[in-house]
Homo-oligomer: A and B are copies of this chain.
């Protein structure tokens, strides 16, 4: 168990690492960040940083020597990196969570083996295998590389009549998975935390709208029937236990409706804090970032209650040029990531809004 004055090491220096560092500070914890990118947003707010590649074992050893626990802000941490560091310090969440969530096939098989529903899926190792999968699952379907894809990269949608061989080329002939389309009525996610002693706390289910494969807006409370909400929570708890998970994670879910009855299917698991949980910074008693720090520190989990109706809207690319009008909106909380260039599709920040109730707060 850490104490105030301890140091957390974060692999990865993007906005998630930055926001973790900002959440660790009020808890009296220092943060060190390791990342190969010299312009890492997280470098601006941490106590010390190491700018090195993830396979630079000398740098990893130096990094480990200065921290009391290591965590990460992106799931594609090389397993060799995690292993090297765990020779010196605990790495949380642990290797099991990393190994499973880095590979879409392993992840879907793991979920299915827990008796939890997912989209229909099949492993694809070559073009003949893809053709067999297409025949079994049907089209439309999505062909995704097993590893390294995110925000719509590393995947191709196949519709009836499309060139299957062309799709296989388009994903670079990497080991892949074919996922059947899910006729979802809504997309939701659940962000939750687990501690080593199995203590568990979930935030309210979040409703998510994507644009061009990137999250656009998250809202709470989600529109979802009560039974399906309970299922989402149970699924998150089950997954966390089965992964021996320590920290915050997110489960993205599809909502499907059958004769008016809603149910949820697991889409993806992220072994980290998640974009769909940013609303918690201003809309819950404890933010997902503070919750993750508490969990990996071995500290009591914070109160996850929602404060009211909340939404988060991402600022992608030149959306960020609206920063000044956004600052002028009463009650709109601006969160910018300290990035220089507002490239198309780049997450530059987000805004959170909270409505506690419709009555004005009594003034003095």
* A336 part of interface (Cβ distance < 8 Å): yes
Q: Is the CB of A336 within 8 A of B26?
A: yes
Q: Which residue of the partner chain, among B25, B46, B204, B327, contacts A338 with CB atoms under 8 Å?
A: B25
Contact string, A8-46, partner B, CB cutoff 8 A, digits 1/0? 000000000010011001111010000000000001111
Partner-binding segment picked from A96-104, A145-153, A298-306: A298-306
CB distance from A304 to the nearest CB of B (A): 9
Check B330–A204 contact: CB distance below 8 A.
Answer: no
Give Cα A336–Cα B333 distance, bound, in whole angstroms. Answer: 23
Alpha-carbon gap, A256 to B5, bound state (A)? 43
Is A78 in contact with chain B by the CB < 8 A criterion? no
Q: In whole angstroms, how far apart are the Cα atoms of A285 and B28 in the complex?
A: 23
Q: Out of B21, B229, B285, name the residue touching A330 (CB < 8 Å).
A: B285
B26 touches A334 (CB 8 A): yes
Q: How many Å lie between the Cα of A43 and that of B294 in the bound state?
A: 23
Q: How many copies of this chain does one complex carry?
A: 2
Whether, in the assembled complex, A261 has its beta carbon less than 8 Å from a beta carbon of chain B, the answer is: no
A200 proximal to B (CB < 8 A): no
A216 contacts which chain B residues (CB < 8 A)? none
User: Do residues A25 and B22 form an inter-chain contact, with CB atoms below 8 A?
Assistant: yes
> How near does chain B come to A363, taking the closest CB pair, in angstroms?
7
A345 within 8 Å of B (CB atoms): no
Considering only residues 342-361 of chain A, those with a C-beta below 8 Å from chain B are 349, 356-357, 361
Task: Please report which residues of chain A, range 301-346, place their CB below 8 angstroms from some CB of chain B when the two chains form the complex.
Answer: 302-303, 305-308, 320, 323-324, 327-328, 330-331, 333-338, 340
Contacts A306-B363, A327-B299; is A30 near B44 (CB within 8 Å)?
A: yes
Pick from B45, B300, B327, B356: contact of A356, CB under 8 Å: B356
In whole angstroms, how far apart are the Cα atoms of A334 and B25 in the complex? 10
Check A364 for interface membership: any CB of B closer than 8 A. Answer: yes
Q: Is the interface of A mostly helix, strand, loop or mixed?
A: loop
- In the complex, chain B residues whose CB is within 8 Å of the CB of A285: 330-331
The residue in A27, A28, A30, A46 that gathers the most chain B C-beta atoms within 10 A of its C-beta is: A28
A172 interfacial contact with B, CB 8 Å: no
Q: Once the chains bind, are A308 and B28 in contact (CB under 8 Å)?
A: no
A307 and B28 in contact, given A294-B327, A324-B299 (Cβ under 8 angstroms): no
Distance in angstroms between the alpha carbons of A336 and B293 in the assembled complex: 14
Query: CB-defined interface of A88-100 with B at 8 Å, one 1/0 digit per residue?
Result: 0000000000000
- Chain B residues lying within 8 Å of A55, measured Cβ to Cβ, are none
Please give the distance in Å from A302's CB to the nearest CB on chain B.
Answer: 8
Q: Are A26 and B30 in contact (CB under 8 A)?
A: no
What is the bound-complex CA distance between A46 and B26, given in angstroms? 14
CB of A248, distance to nearest CB on chain B (Å): 16
Which B residues are in CB contact (< 8 Å) with A307? 307, 356, 361
* Docked pose: A335 CA to B303 CA in angstroms: 16
With A308-B361, A336-B27, A364-B204 as given contacts, are A331 and B303 in contact (CB-CB < 8 Å)? yes
- Residue A158 at the chain B interface, CB threshold 8 Å: no
14 inter-chain pairs at a CB distance below 8 angstroms, sorted by A residue, are A5-B340, A21-B45, A22-B26, A25-B45, A26-B333, A27-B334, A28-B334, A28-B338, A44-B47, A302-B327, A303-B331, A305-B331, A305-B361, A307-B356
Q: Which residues of A contact B (CB under 8 A)?
A: 4-5, 18, 21-22, 25-28, 30, 43-47, 204-205, 221-222, 229, 233, 285, 294, 299-300, 302-303, 305-308, 320, 323-324, 327-328, 330-331, 333-338, 340, 349, 356-357, 361, 363-364
